[in-house]
Amino acid sequence: MTSRIKTSLLALAALAASQAIYAQDVVRIGHVGPKSGPIAHLGMDNELGAKLAVDDLNAKGVTIGGKKVKLELLGEDDAGDPKQGTAVAQKLVDAKVSGVVGHLNSGTTIPASRIYSDAGIPQISPSSTNPKYTRNGYKTAFRVVADDVHLGGTLGRYAVKELNGKSIAIIDDRTAYGQGVAEEFSKGAKAAGGNVVGHEFTNDKATDFTAILTTLKGKKPDIIFVGAMDATAGPLLRQMKQLGIDAKMMGGDGICSGELPKLASGAMGDGQVYCAEAGGVDASQRKGMDDFRARFKATTKLDVQVYAPYSYDAVNVLVAAMVKAGSSDPAKYLPVLAKTDGYPGVTGVIGFDAKGDIKNGALTMFTYKGGERQALSVVR
């Protein structure tokens, strides 16, 4: 063997060794949300928030257990479908991700949470609000927003006490999210003395609501609560106008997006829609959120829809636990993650209770004027 060949072989071996070491230094974090279908704009909003966090952390440099690592985001599309959600959850498990941010909606988050639990992989949802998500006893399930008990109940009381709703109707899409938030809204409204005159059902693929709106029109509601996403609420607003239904619309975080006025195609009146986002920052923390929104726009050329800041914080909370534990091994950093308390996020201070729910979760009430969301108040 010539010296030149030996030198070449040694160089190749060194290169292979360096590549092997580099591969070990990559920490993969999964993100799942709907990147196709009617709420793809919300899924992409979440993923872009997670990507911005990964880019920021890589730019600053992350050291775990004395070793500098590179973070890699693996983004998957669940299309808002539970079956697809469990399929991509298994795909991320097989890819040996260290943690997962997602899913977006409760209907996909809840079934996927079992797969992550079985694999021992921590999961933080930035937007799922159905209480069942953190009540299945899975030690790997966390969320950084308030749940539907808080969200729906607060909206129900607001409908009666602040909007003076006398005759309240409810429409829900029968998904885990829509049904859950509608049921909690109904409880809250009734407890505050409200009168629920009708409850109609649809599904998350429907676009024609004439039949159920005609049924409700005869009951003369002054408020219609919509347990669904903005892709449903927009057409509902158009068809309410066409049928001459002069009622306010209320909804949870699913309808509370920057896209809703466009989806309503000019049918939304000023102050007609009231909604709550399961999160929010007090005045003292407003600058951090405003700075994030400005940087998100500068980086992505898009406005924040709803939960990009919560995805951003979810990634940072996962990585902070890895750094503190000195390991990206889920079994080693999960106990540290569960004890997260006082983490200073752009969405406020983050800490988890024994179930994995955020402590002291906030809600922000919004309305729309001139086609723009306007914050009304932060409620805890």
Task: Kindly give the pairing relationship between strand 67-77 and strand 62-64.
Answer: antiparallel
Model pLDDT for residues 145-158, shown as the tens digit of each residue? 989 888 899 999 99
Identify whether residues 180 and 252 lie together within a single domain. Answer: yes
| Mean pLDDT value across the chain | 92
* Residue 286 or 67, more confident: 67
Last residue of a domain, one of 277, 312, 329: 277
Q: Check which CATH number belongs to the domain holding 229 and give it.
A: 3.40.50.2300
Q: What amino acid is encoded at 134 in this protein?
A: T
> Residue 327, CB half-sphere, CA atoms under 13 Å: how many?
9
- pLDDT of residue 63 exceeding 50, the answer is yes
Instruction: Classify residue 368: in a domain, yes or no.
Output: no
Instruction: Classify residue 254: in a domain, yes or no.
Output: yes
Contacts (Cβ under 8 Å, ≥6 apart) of 184: 148, 149, 151, 152, 153, 156
Domain tally, the chain: 2
- pLDDT of residue 5 exceeding 90, the answer is no
Can you tell me the distance from the alpha carbon of 114 to that of 12, in angstroms, rounded to the nearest whole number?
43
Can you tell me the distance from the alpha carbon of 212 to that of 11, in angstroms, rounded to the nearest whole number?
72
Q: What is the dihedral of CA 155, 159, 161, 167, to 10 degrees?
A: -150
Model pLDDT for residues 160-191, shown as the tens digit of each residue? 999 999 999 999 999 999 999 999 999 999 99
- pLDDT of residue 284 exceeding 80, the answer is no
For 229-322, strand residue ranges (E) read 248-251, 273-277
Element counts in the chain: helices (H) and strands (E): 12, 15
- pLDDT of residue 21 exceeding 50, the answer is no
Last residue of a domain, one of 277, 303, 333: 277
What domain range includes position 67? Answer: 3-145+286-361
Residue 23 — very low, low, confident or very high, per pLDDT cuts 50/70/90?
A: very low
How many degrees, rounded to 5, is the angle at CA 217 between CA 215 and CA 222? 130
Identify whether residues 37 and 138 lie together within a single domain. Answer: yes
Task: Provide, rounded to the nearest whole percent, the portion of the chain with pLDDT above 90.
Answer: 83
Identify whether residues 67 and 125 lie together within a single domain. Answer: yes
Task: Supply the pLDDT for residue 244.
Answer: 97
pTM of the predicted model as reported, rounded to 2 decimal places = 0.82
Identify whether residues 270 and 153 lie together within a single domain. Answer: yes
Residue 363 — very low, low, confident or very high, per pLDDT cuts 50/70/90?
A: confident
Identify whether residues 63 and 41 lie together within a single domain. Answer: yes
Q: Averaged over 7-24, what is the pLDDT?
A: 46
- pLDDT of residue 4 exceeding 70, the answer is no
Residue 17 — very low, low, confident or very high, per pLDDT cuts 50/70/90?
A: very low
